Amino acid sequence: MKKIIKMDRFEHQSIWYKNLLANPTEIAALFPFNAETGKLMTAHLEGMDEGYILELGSGMGAITECILQRQVPEDKLILLDKNEDFANYLSHKYRNANVFAEDASNAKKLLQAQGICEVRHIVCSLPFVMIKQEKQLSILDNIFKLLHPQGCVSIVTYFVRCPISKKVLGQYNKSSELFGFTMKNIPPAYVYQIKK
Ligand SMILES: C[S@@+](CC[C@H](N)C(=O)[O-])C[C@H]1O[C@@H](n2cnc3c(N)ncnc32)[C@H](O)[C@@H]1O
């Protein structure tokens, strides 16, 4: 039994590192985010009782686990990552979740084709600082058009500033605030919340 668990962990890590080597700027993290970061990223989900949760850049599910610990039903979870290996891994792990291997800039069209026109909250670990500005704007337009008017986006970054400028947020009548910081992540991580 121990051997199988070890094999699984090895397999899990080899998918992560194989893809990191192939797409370093897209994955943009040596390690998945840790549980402490996940707790900060999912604090806004506490007590929510309806609607979908969209996770952008779900990777191999480090934050997904923390979302599920907030009692979000698996079938209300939308996991989106452009990396096919990651999406494939998550679709096998979370059989009831809605998993898509897609670019976040196609989120609105993709979800609408599934009959999903609105999401309650968003959890985002996309590496915004590595994404070209034009693509960033397209992703933001997609997510703010999908977000419930009272919804909140949590976003993680390794830098002290929110990766989305005040000017861009203002165009959607949103603002950001630093919600938390953890030294326990490698490297340390800042979590911002974006809402009305
Ligand atoms: C820093 S990793 C975070 C992974 C995971 N959430 C974790 O905590 O370990 C960023 C993820 O965003 C994905 N990604 C990067 N650009 C993307 C885009 N434009 N659309 C969708 N996913 C993207 C990468 O494939 C990668 O899995």
154-192: pLDDT as tens digits: 999 999 999 999 999 999 999 999 999 999 999 999 999
- Confidence category of residue 47, pLDDT binned at 50, 70, 90: confident
| CB-based contacts of 28, cutoff 8 Å, min separation 6 | 127, 129, 130
The pLDDT of residue 6 is: 53
State yes or no: pLDDT of 7 exceeds 80: no
Residue 84, token pair as written in the block: 């096919």
Q: What is the pTM of this model?
A: 0.95
| CB-based contacts of 53, cutoff 8 Å, min separation 6 | 45, 67, 72, 76, 77, 78, 119, 120, 121, 122, 123
- Confidence category of residue 3, pLDDT binned at 50, 70, 90: very low
Ligand 1 centroid–CA 143 distance in Å is 15
Ligand 1 centroid–CA 44 distance in Å is 20
Number of domains in the chain: 1
Distances (CA, A) of 44 to 54, 69, 153, 194: 13, 13, 8, 11
Q: What is the mean pLDDT of residues 26-44?
A: 96
Mutate to test the pocket of ligand 1, among 19, 26, 55, 63 (most ligand atoms within 8 A of CB): 26
Q: Is the CB of 26 under 6 A from ligand 1?
A: yes
The whole domain housing 8 covers 2-195
| Look-up of token digits 């397209």 | 138
Mutate to test the pocket of ligand 1, among 19, 23, 125, 157 (most ligand atoms within 8 A of CB): 125
Output phi, psi for 148, to 5 deg: -55, 145
CATH number, domain containing residue 41: 3.40.50.150
Q: What is the mean pLDDT of residues 74-95?
A: 97
Ligand 1 centroid–CA 60 distance in Å is 9
Q: Is the CB of 126 under 6 A from ligand 1?
A: yes
